[in-house]
Amino acid sequence: MVKPEILKKFTSILGPDRVKTAKEDLLTYSYDAFIAEYAPEAVIFPKTTPEVAEIMKIASANRVFVTPRGSGSGLSAAALAKEGGVMICFTMMNRILEINTANRYAVVEPGVIISEFQKELDKFNLFYPPDPGSATVATMGGAVMMNAGGMRGVKYGVTRDYLLGMEIVLPSGAVMNTGGVNAKDVTGYDLTRLLCGSEGTLALATKIIVRLLPKPKTKRTLQAIYSRIDDAGNTVAKIIEAGIIPATLELMDNQIVKALEDFMHLGFPLDAEAVLLIDVDGEPETVEKQAVLIAEFCKSQGARDVRVSQSEKENEQIWVARRSAFGAVARLRPNCLVEDATVPVSKLTEAIKKVIEVSKRNRVQIAVVAHAGDGNLHPLVLFDQRDKEELERVDKAIDEIVDYALSVGGTLSGEHGIGIAKSKYLTRQLSPTALEMMRAVKKTFDPQGILNPGSFLESAA
Ligand SMILES: Cc1cc2nc3c(=O)[nH]c(=O)nc-3n(C[C@H](O)[C@H](O)[C@H](O)COP(=O)(O)OP(=O)(O)OC[C@H]3O[C@@H](n4cnc5c(N)ncnc54)[C@H](O)[C@@H]3O)c2cc1C
């Protein structure tokens, strides 16, 4: 229980408008994009690093639990106040502090929305590639702490590949910097990378430094429709074998196609087992050649229809389908869980077929989108949480998908993180020694265990 005198101290630092305790406010912050629900006792909105440091000094002196949060778009319940306490929300720390064109880096506060940052960079012909499907709402801080990926991962990698450094506030309230603005820097342990993906359990990010790329000169989008999912899988393998690295390589299965048709009437044939969406970007000549080659691969592997965009506008039209996939599917049942098991790319088709088999056998509706180029499946599991019997079948199906992914050398999560949602599976992938090391790291940063308590390490089965 957060004592009233502590809340008074927070109010004296932030003012009454930035300390919320009303029941309806707390309810809004009691869930993210997963299905768990835990209400914090207060939600506070700092605007500066000294404010964050002051808050953490008070929290640590009084052993108050603190859960950091960006926009709450996470899919693994990593930003929930499982043990109560205070939620520290970074959405008001949202300034782009520097865009350095000479050295190609930028410094941002954690509450900056990813797509707004990307739009600003566009003005300088610069490019920050990580693009989670949630980029229009997710914050840079949340993305760093989840090491978010996205559709461009196949060519450009994930958040970690662009993170150069951070200013952080430790649970004790001490402020420190990690990394810096240099492209190369091997001074000491790489704490920046350790913190990236730490799910708000080690420290609070108050400034973020990322490296930037020049904006690709041109982009072409292809859409290929398949009667057989194996043919789509073989096309993916063929593209990768040929040494082409597309900017995006996404797959949607028949369930998604049907949901999209019902929702948006885009003209997909209802019997299509798979649709591939592919972007190539870079120098115009290379892009032209690659687009022609990929179109040939699609046809030779059995695609029944291949469309190659001819303009920026057409690129966008093709991508509307993929961007609407979650929305289209979420209409079908009261609840939708987005799974994130990831397998080696060569196992992609087998993995999708396994998910379809698990879905049928357990009588659980599962639609699949995949960042196919990097083996990252997103089975969208549809159900009604109020139906206990159905919930048991859902648990069993997810359990089987997790076990299958691990059995072929895959991982529990490619990009959505562990949070509360997947902590029960952690010991299936990590050895006791690995878990012990992680717990030791946590203890070093947060000896009192006040930051994001009850999250993935503590909840591990
Ligand atoms: C429709 C949809 C599509 C998505 N697509 C993708 C995708 O393609 N790829 C992908 O990787 N993810 C995706 N996600 C998941 C999610 O959007 C990302 O993980 C995103 O980076 C979370 O950002 P956020 O600001 O919402 O963070 P939150 O969910 O608020 O927080 C995420 C974690 O970061 C911690 N945190 C937040 N800010 C700070 C801070 N300043 N300091 C310390 N810790 C902090 C929180 O405690 C929590 O552990 C998707 C989600 C949705 C709903």
CA distance 352 to 354: 5
- Residue 287: pLDDT over 80: yes
**Atom 49 of ligand 1 has which residue's CA nearest to it?**
199
Pocket test of ligand 1: the residue of 69, 166, 208 to mutate, having most ligand atoms within 8 Å of its CB, is: 69
Reference 455, options 32, 67, 48; nearest CA is 67
Establish whether residue 130 lines the binding site of ligand 1, counting it when its CB lies within 6 angstroms of any ligand atom.
no
CA atoms in the 13 A half-sphere facing the CB of 119: 7
Establish whether residue 73 lines the binding site of ligand 1, counting it when its CB lies within 6 angstroms of any ligand atom.
yes
pLDDT interval class at 70 (50, 70, 90):
very high
Question: Which tens digits make up the pLDDT trace of 362-394?
Answer: 999 999 999 999 999 999 999 999 999 999 999
Q: What is the average pLDDT value for the chain, to the nearest integer?
A: 95
Question: Which tens digits make up the pLDDT trace of 142-174?
Answer: 999 999 999 999 999 999 999 999 999 999 999
Question: Which tens digits make up the pLDDT trace of 408-459?
Answer: 999 999 999 999 999 999 999 999 999 999 999 999 999 999 999 988 887 7
Establish whether residue 110 lines the binding site of ligand 1, counting it when its CB lies within 6 angstroms of any ligand atom.
yes
Question: Which tens digits make up the pLDDT trace of 293-311?
Answer: 999 999 999 999 999 998 8
- Cβ of 180: how many Cβ atoms within 10 Å? 14
Establish whether residue 148 lines the binding site of ligand 1, counting it when its CB lies within 6 angstroms of any ligand atom.
yes
Establish whether residue 375 lines the binding site of ligand 1, counting it when its CB lies within 6 angstroms of any ligand atom.
no
How many A from CA of 390 to the centre of ligand 1? 28
C-alpha dihedral sign at 54, 60, 66, 68: positive
Question: Which tens digits make up the pLDDT trace of 104-120?
Answer: 999 999 999 999 999 99
Question: Residue 455: what pLDDT?
Answer: 87
